[in-house]
Amino acid sequence: MATNFDDFQKFSKEQLEAVSSVASSLARGFQTIAAETTDYSKRSLETSSAYLEKLVGAKSLDNAIQIQSEYAKVAYEGFVAQTSKISELYASLAKEAFKPVESAIAKVQSVASSVTPIVK
């Protein structure tokens, strides 16, 4: 009986470590995503400010339309690139966060397969 208790205690400790590892992985991942989003926001604000300065200095309607078209293209390309980057960060976060969970599940499955069922 003491062996079962020791096994249970060891298993509980492993699970706690897995949960702790998941929590720290999630925290790091969300910090990375937040930092990347903040950087993108800063870049976007700078690009928008430069666009407005150019637009105010436009000499003609044709020039203003050209400036607007260039800005729309740059803004769209930047948004698509940022979306791809954030998607990759979330995918990486999910993989990293679930590694300890996958390990714990594998251990449980191996223990469960080695236990002989009690037949009454």
**Full-model pTM:** 0.71
Higher per-residue confidence, 117 vs 60: 60
- Please write the tens of the pLDDT for every residue from 5-35: 777 788 778 778 877 888 888 899 999 999 9
Higher per-residue confidence, 30 vs 99: 30
pLDDT of residue 1: 53
pLDDT of residue 8: 75
Q: Identify which of 38, 25, 19, 34 has the alpha carbon closest to the alpha carbon of residue 92.
A: 25
Higher per-residue confidence, 12 vs 2: 12
Distances (CA, A) of 109 to 11, 82, 116: 13, 40, 13
Q: Can you tell me the distance from the alpha carbon of 79 to that of 92, in angstroms, rounded to the nearest whole number?
A: 20
pLDDT of residue 120: 62
pLDDT of residue 36: 95
Structure tokens at 42: 């800063």
pLDDT of residue 17: 82
